[in-house]
Amino acid sequence: FCQRSRMGGCGDDKEDEEDDEVVAVGLYRLLEEAKGFSKPEISGFRVGAVAVGESGTSYLGGNVEFRHQGLEHVIHAEEFAITNAINHGERSISHLAVSMAPCGYCRQIISELAEASQLSIWISPSKKPTDIDALLPSAFSPKDLGGRGRLLSEQAHELELVEVPEEAWRPLADVALERANRSYAPYTRSPSGVALMLSCGKIVGGGYAENCAFNPSISPLKAAIVAVLSSQQRLEDVEKLVLVEMRNSSVSHESSISSFSRSLFPRAQVLILQCEQRSAALE
């Protein structure tokens, strides 16, 4: 779910304080709506988050937990909202509001964002924003691994499928390939994407988003799940899944996605496709 919003401008100190209060009130009102996306099947604890993109659109997210699954599959509220913004093509986030202070995992994700140092972070009920340098001092950052670019920066990997699938699978394969081409994988150079088809015929997708600390990386399946839930659809309605990933890559999602999807989408058909860069295909 996303919606257009307007955030405050600039002025003298008093005006800035007033602007801060106006922004806080608007964001915190949206937090209550964001909690509606929360599915805390294990903890029973609802968290909401709102990410405001450079377009002025607000992207909502809630924490999502999966009963009888490992906690590594949990989607944090901030992770949901940020991924929602990525799925809609945003190139930066100007404001991030959360109903609780971000955990360390989410602070690491935030630090990976393009223009992260300029991001205003609002922790309810404070009327003053903070920033990632205050929340995560002395951070391990992309520059420590020689990373180029940042999460949300434009990506274009020039990938193509090694083999074209049957006609019935091509619409999903096209979406998964497009998401792989837009995915963020500077550390392993293993871009990947997932497409899901729902019983209504709707197709949604998600791309891989790496983190310099590795563990907070967002899998392409997580990103696709966010696309389903943010469009207010049901996971149990997923009927087909396509994963597109690099041939002979150092990181593969095939095993983990196949295992998790069997439990999450028991009726779904799964297809794994390989891709390669166009320059490699011509050799």
Q: Which of 15, 18, 32, 78 is catalytic?
A: 78
Question: β-strands 192-198, 2-4: how paired?
Answer: unpaired
Using alpha carbons only, give the angle 16, 116, 58 rounded to the nearest 5 degrees: 65
What does the alpha-carbon distance between residue 91 and residue 189 come to, in Å, rounded to a whole number? 20
Give the residue carrying structure tokens 């964002």: 113
78 flagged as catalytic: yes
C-alpha distances in Å from residue 10, one per residue of 7, 18, 20, 57, 96? 10, 10, 10, 19, 18
What does the alpha-carbon distance between residue 176 and residue 194 come to, in Å, rounded to a whole number? 5
**Cβ–Cβ < 8 Å for 60, 49:** yes
| Nearest to 62, CA basis, from 83, 92, 94, 38 | 38
Known catalytic residues are 78
